[in-house]
Structure 1
């Protein structure tokens, strides 16, 4: 499949019709016109001349890039966008049109002269000639879209001497086209601004020399130099240097992150102060940023159920309105003695009401705005479908480890029976271990003790812990089993039972005869978990935890963060069954860390993955929280709910204004300019309301 940039694509309905025509060509069944990003995806074997002819019928054309005779688009290549210039030209033409129209009215009142008619025609031609040319072509092909309807209405109005009315309609239609293009352009621009974070070049460092290369030339294993203020070209590891890095482009996290040698960095993030040498671990096209940008671009084009409904509706709507127009023109004069001229005029007005533009555009601008705004916050929504679902979620199931908690143990409680030696012995033994539990103990011990002895001998006993000899005495650090040969006092035993009851993981420190003290460890909660759960509950969303951990541990976490419900001791397949149960009760999202939760994420109505750009998270989930924390989840749901509300409001407005216009035919009050205002008003309102989704209200 080849991808091309299209210029002059301003009408969503026309894009849909052209896509259907291209689909009917040989090898064209998979062709897609991506209206939101002005692109065309076609099979390489298709006859391009015929495709270009279809596009030309609507004033659109393929952009031929200077670097490629076919104008193909490479993922995120940037092009000169002429749509802005097109908009400016249309603005000038409309301005001239209004001047000619005003002159025509003046001449008409002064002399009632045929000169006025010429001025009216020039005014109409300036703002409506494109529509007229397209409309006449379509008439011969019996293709009835907005251009055909407008052309029939204009020709009819001039045919019955309604020069002024016809010209007003042409000018209003020109303004409408301009504003519709402007709204779509604004949404596209915000998307393009997001895509501009992709770096273009890198400084390759080889053999002690530096040279600038394009991002595409970089290969895995290359060393690149990143100067202060420079962009890191692709995912990699810091080979040399220390600096703070701004990862906002990938994670949405505004605070810079300190980075040292050996740590990983994302392509597209900005190096703040130090000079870094980075070893590239992925070619740019495989980097997190490239995947995110590609997903965001594709996300705009997935049709939501609402959009699919609108498209089906539009297919039948226009022909039905055309039949109504014929009835309005013919029935009153034939059967109720009506005046042929005035009812013909009413019928022409009804034709204009048949334009489904406002309906078609009621959804895409709102969806792009929602996806873009979430992406700016580091929340990757993989499609309009998922955005719509996110706004309808009734329950969220959370995995515990790595989602509500940090996934690393922390000491939460200590019992000390021998002040002098407990922390000293624990530190002396654990400082040599790289185990996460040892690491947690060392963080706690280091708060009070700083000097530790060096053990003479250390032996690990599987399933128990460690035995070490320090200054001729034997000490043990491990679980309860290390106490098997000791007489444990009742007081100590009851402390052990109490801590186990509270769901702690126990680490006991003892010598040859007695217990010196013990640590109660728990998986540390994320700072934002409690606040996030509170916000979700107040939005009316049920919050449920599913974990393989002990029920006691699960209960403790559930109580601390305020979950609606929890289930512990679950095996992976039991988690999947639980999700099936929950989805049967209401729309349920599952949040996990994207690796071990893949089956549960896939079975939920919506899979949301934690993950600082982990490949499996980006690939398996429908939504990815790039910051790797839950903090922005409530705002993502609020944005999705707003998008859903806006789309419903837009559809209601578009249909209501058209219905009012149609009802005005009953008393014979519908005029051509009221008809176009009903469509134009709906289009402008729908566009403006959709753009409100993009407004970030800073707290």
Structure 2
């Protein structure tokens, strides 16, 4: 981050929330009731230092340096610490109910001086601003709030903890808390936000100590573990009061007009209802017009005022009330989709039990370093990624992989933050910091995915930017031109107002992003990462899937598939083979040893172990030399193989690796080893076929025999064998040339060229594998295919919902436009059609959040 040195100016006093000209006073208080003790040090305002004793402004920022200097600026914060302010900042904006809101905010902020870059993503509500000066950044929160939205800084200092402060009634209260906490040695930095009731504090001591210190100042503090959730709840608090009150006034006015009450009284009731419900959109409209933004607030405000001008007070009040009600319902629904992964964010505990000098101490998760030993009790969630160093347990990994069945974990196994320790106490050595845990990466990737526009969304947004101005100009034309010829001013003015309302493209522009965010959120909760709307749309169009064999369709490690006993009992054969292979680390040897152990067969006493390179192994057991290896080994020994050659050929034709066991004189038996099909493979592929997948293909570097056997067991449609990595790319290209939209499923590392060539790259087993999470378009966190059918079905459902939303939105607009000129449409019906259509589109998209396997 860049920093600027402050420029010193010779001013005696200033209050940034008021006039820009400095006031020569020893003390200025913009709030009628706020008092703050003066300091001996000079004060600064904004980015410039001013020589005055003190300045206190209600709802403004006061910067407090280490020397106790104060300033008054319109950012709602009181800050203690370094006086240099960064030139870039991130915020979370609440209250946007359609993408046009984001466009209005962007346009408004770009008109501010020294603002270089503004990006506001509607899906996530994340605002990123770059400015040439710190004073420009300080104006961002107040500018956004003037438009009618709530804003909260995303704290870049990860050491900062957020506290909810209760009891503050003016900016001076915030100043009191800052001044008190400055006296606490463990406190490094303090930021108290009066308007949101929050404090962000960097400190070395425990959270309980800070809470006690705040209570000494006369206020109540509570540690906030999810700032987004608290901000949303505060945003919605008290929002419905004006709507309910306006509705009552309109109802009273309507009843009064039918019971003989004077018309001026009903007009007063309607006017008050318009003011109560319309104040916020009118304020937003004013600042929207200043920034040359033609959003729904502008259109609705003009329509309501126009209705009042021509004496249609009931319609004007109803328009405003329906609009406010629709916005409230839309906003509440939108927040549900925007925070569809909030459950993931809250999964990892904010604190952990740390083992130090034989004692357990509770520490904040962000204060724990790599290598620290933490203790996880039965029933608790694991706070950080790590490796078990003591204990064993069943771990529910559903938050990461989507798998509902707990996994057995023993010493040496990896565990992930957010997963649940169901039984047994564990000691875990931390391997990743809190910001680097698997669940943190999932949250980061999902938020990034939500910020990426899908092709359909980009097209709709572009269409809306053209549609709205055209309809607005057409409305003005209808208000002015036709009355010149027939003189029916009020009639054409009313039609123009209706057209203004119809010009709102809310339902259309919201049709795509809400569906995409809902689908991505659903997938994340089920252990699937879809890295953006583009890939979601692509997944919905896929009709062929190519699978890498090893580690994808199969377990990726050899296992004993058959034991053929010829001149020895099976247990005796296994005992001899286990003894021969016990000292080898070869995967086939380990597979045989593990199989014998499962059968509870013990090793025998052996000596003179030798590895026969390229052939096998030998050892002396009970004074007899035994061998285990391939056919070449026994041919060289001169051992007769004719009586067992039929078994050898049969197993080799099935694509299995054979291990012949015997002496130089005879063969005792044959053990075949093969890579086995995953238990979820067949059911997953069958489900894909049932959901309309036209081609399921297997790609493998194995020989024809092995490929044919695995293809038969897994029931794929086609297979390509003897492939090098570049040959897999050619196989994908062949499918594409045949007209298929092709996805490739692999491990994200060895199959990188094929994943990149395919229309959609899908990596499997992303949990704990950073490379897989970074390289593929879609990541299946579990190490099996059972989530793939759900992903493809979800993607197709999302495409269907998007199409439904778009067509429904367009049809509603066309009907509304057609009903204007015959006189069948009224203002309140126009508003109802607009907000109602937007709400129905949102509710239709929300179905994707609830979709299950």
TM bin, normalised by shorter chain, reads: over 0.9
Counterpart among 391, 402, 405 of residue 540 in structure 2: 391
> Which residue of the partner structure matches residue 507 of structure 1?
659
Query: How high is the TM-score relative to the length of structure 2?
Result: 0.78
Counterpart among 680, 684, 694 of residue 532 in structure 1: 684
Q: Deviations over 1:365-406 (max 9, x none)?
A: 222221121111111222222222211111111000000000
- 1:523 to 1:25, Cα distance in 2 relative to 1, 3 A: farther
- 1:24 to 1:572, Cα distance in 2 relative to 1, 3 A: farther
Looking at structure 1, the residues matched to 653 and 618 of structure 2 have their Cα atoms a distance apart, in angstroms, of 27
Q: Deviations over 1:190-237 (max 9, x none)?
A: 321221112211122122222222111222211111112222222211
Establish whether residue 693 from structure 1 lines up as the match of residue 842 from structure 2. no
Looking at structure 2, the residues matched to 68 and 386 of structure 1 have their Cα atoms a distance apart, in angstroms, of 40
**Kept after mapping to 2: 8 A contact 1:7/1:81:** no
> Which residue of the partner structure matches residue 180 of structure 1?
330
**Kept after mapping to 1: 8 A contact 2:148/2:281:** no
**Kept after mapping to 2: 8 A contact 1:173/1:680:** yes
Looking at structure 1, the residues matched to 574 and 90 of structure 2 have their Cα atoms a distance apart, in angstroms, of 65
**Kept after mapping to 2: 8 A contact 1:248/1:269:** yes
> Which residue of the partner structure matches residue 267 of structure 2?
117
**Kept after mapping to 1: 8 A contact 2:90/2:129:** yes
> Which residue of the partner structure matches residue 674 of structure 1?
829
Looking at structure 2, the residues matched to 269 and 618 of structure 1 have their Cα atoms a distance apart, in angstroms, of 18
- 1:78 to 1:367, Cα distance in 2 relative to 1, 3 A: same
> Which residue of the partner structure matches residue 589 of structure 1?
743
Looking at structure 1, the residues matched to 392 and 278 of structure 2 have their Cα atoms a distance apart, in angstroms, of 62
- 1:696 to 1:538, Cα distance in 2 relative to 1, 3 A: closer
Q: Deviations over 1:215-270 (max 9, x none)?
A: 11222211111112222222211111122212111111122212111222112222
Establish whether residue 158 from structure 1 lines up as the match of residue 308 from structure 2. yes
Establish whether residue 575 from structure 1 lines up as the match of residue 728 from structure 2. yes
**Kept after mapping to 2: 8 A contact 1:252/1:378:** yes
Establish whether residue 306 from structure 1 lines up as the match of residue 393 from structure 2. no
**Kept after mapping to 1: 8 A contact 2:732/2:754:** yes
> Which residue of the partner structure matches residue 171 of structure 2?
none
Counterpart among 386, 389, 414 of residue 563 in structure 2: 414
**Kept after mapping to 2: 8 A contact 1:424/1:449:** no
Looking at structure 2, the residues matched to 443 and 118 of structure 1 have their Cα atoms a distance apart, in angstroms, of 87
Aligned to 2:293, what secondary structure does the other structure show? Answer: coil
**Kept after mapping to 2: 8 A contact 1:4/1:73:** no
Looking at structure 2, the residues matched to 579 and 27 of structure 1 have their Cα atoms a distance apart, in angstroms, of 51
Aligned to 1:453, what secondary structure does the other structure show? Answer: coil
Looking at structure 1, the residues matched to 654 and 304 of structure 2 have their Cα atoms a distance apart, in angstroms, of 80
Task: Single out whichever of 151-160 and 207-216 deviates more from structure 2.
Answer: 207-216
Unaligned runs of 5+ in 2: 1-87, 154-161, 164-189, 194-198, 203-224
Looking at structure 1, the residues matched to 226 and 431 of structure 2 have their Cα atoms a distance apart, in angstroms, of 22
Q: How far 1:175 moved relative to its partner?
A: 0.9
Looking at structure 2, the residues matched to 258 and 141 of structure 1 have their Cα atoms a distance apart, in angstroms, of 59
**Kept after mapping to 1: 8 A contact 2:744/2:761:** yes
Establish whether residue 56 from structure 1 lines up as the match of residue 206 from structure 2. no
Looking at structure 1, the residues matched to 370 and 745 of structure 2 have their Cα atoms a distance apart, in angstroms, of 32
**Kept after mapping to 2: 8 A contact 1:479/1:508:** yes
Alignment coverage as a number of residue pairs: 697
Counterpart among 350, 359, 362 of residue 511 in structure 2: 362
Looking at structure 1, the residues matched to 842 and 301 of structure 2 have their Cα atoms a distance apart, in angstroms, of 25
Q: Deviations over 1:543-562 (max 9, x none)?
A: 11111111221111112111
Counterpart among 483, 500, 515 of residue 351 in structure 1: 500
Q: How far 1:451 moved relative to its partner?
A: 3.6
> Which residue of the partner structure matches residue 238 of structure 1?
388
**Kept after mapping to 2: 8 A contact 1:136/1:151:** no
Task: Single out whichever of 281-290 and 487-496 deviates more from structure 2.
Answer: 487-496
Establish whether residue 16 from structure 1 lines up as the match of residue 103 from structure 2. yes
Looking at structure 2, the residues matched to 449 and 91 of structure 1 have their Cα atoms a distance apart, in angstroms, of 70
Q: How far 1:632 moved relative to its partner?
A: 1.4
> Which residue of the partner structure matches residue 644 of structure 2?
492
Query: How high is the TM-score relative to the length of structure 1?
Result: 0.94
Looking at structure 2, the residues matched to 489 and 303 of structure 1 have their Cα atoms a distance apart, in angstroms, of 66
Establish whether residue 328 from structure 1 lines up as the match of residue 478 from structure 2. yes
Q: How far 1:9 moved relative to its partner?
A: 3.4
Establish whether residue 544 from structure 1 lines up as the match of residue 694 from structure 2. no
> Which residue of the partner structure matches residue 605 of structure 2?
454
Aligned to 1:187, what secondary structure does the other structure show? Answer: helix
Q: How far 1:613 moved relative to its partner?
A: 2.7
Higher helix share: 1
Q: How far 1:509 moved relative to its partner?
A: 0.8
User: Which of 1 and 2 has higher RCO (CA within 8 Å, sep 6+)?
Assistant: 1
> Which residue of the partner structure matches residue 706 of structure 2?
553
> Which residue of the partner structure matches residue 62 of structure 2?
none
> Which residue of the partner structure matches residue 524 of structure 2?
375
- 1:268 to 1:217, Cα distance in 2 relative to 1, 3 A: same
Q: How far 1:128 moved relative to its partner?
A: 1.5
Looking at structure 2, the residues matched to 528 and 588 of structure 1 have their Cα atoms a distance apart, in angstroms, of 22
- 1:2 to 1:436, Cα distance in 2 relative to 1, 3 A: farther
Q: How far 1:68 moved relative to its partner?
A: 4.4
- 1:473 to 1:667, Cα distance in 2 relative to 1, 3 A: same
Aligned to 1:627, what secondary structure does the other structure show? Answer: coil
**Kept after mapping to 2: 8 A contact 1:475/1:512:** yes
Looking at structure 1, the residues matched to 678 and 549 of structure 2 have their Cα atoms a distance apart, in angstroms, of 10
Q: How far 1:82 moved relative to its partner?
A: 4.0
Q: How far 1:160 moved relative to its partner?
A: 0.6
- 1:619 to 1:72, Cα distance in 2 relative to 1, 3 A: farther
Aligned to 1:412, what secondary structure does the other structure show? Answer: strand
**Kept after mapping to 2: 8 A contact 1:378/1:626:** yes
Q: How far 1:108 moved relative to its partner?
A: 2.7
Aligned ranges for residues 224-263 of structure 1 at < 5 Å? 224-263=374-413
Counterpart among 33, 38, 41 of residue 128 in structure 2: 41
> Which residue of the partner structure matches residue 272 of structure 1?
422
Looking at structure 2, the residues matched to 11 and 318 of structure 1 have their Cα atoms a distance apart, in angstroms, of 14
**Kept after mapping to 1: 8 A contact 2:639/2:664:** no
> Which residue of the partner structure matches residue 646 of structure 1?
801
- 1:350 to 1:284, Cα distance in 2 relative to 1, 3 A: same
Tell me how large the CA RMSD over aligned residues is: 2.4
> Which residue of the partner structure matches residue 593 of structure 2?
442
Q: How far 1:303 moved relative to its partner?
A: 0.9
Counterpart among 607, 615, 618 of residue 761 in structure 2: 607
Q: Deviations over 1:23-76 (max 9, x none)?
A: 6768856532233333222337562134335423421243256664699999x9
Task: Single out whichever of 77-86 and 232-241 deviates more from structure 2.
Answer: 77-86
Aligned to 2:240, what secondary structure does the other structure show? Answer: helix
Aligned to 1:143, what secondary structure does the other structure show? Answer: coil
Looking at structure 2, the residues matched to 241 and 570 of structure 1 have their Cα atoms a distance apart, in angstroms, of 44
Looking at structure 2, the residues matched to 81 and 503 of structure 1 have their Cα atoms a distance apart, in angstroms, of 59
**Kept after mapping to 2: 8 A contact 1:247/1:269:** yes
Task: Single out whichever of 553-562 and 321-330 deviates more from structure 2.
Answer: 321-330
Q: Deviations over 1:120-168 (max 9, x none)?
A: 1011111121112222343455432111111111111111111111111
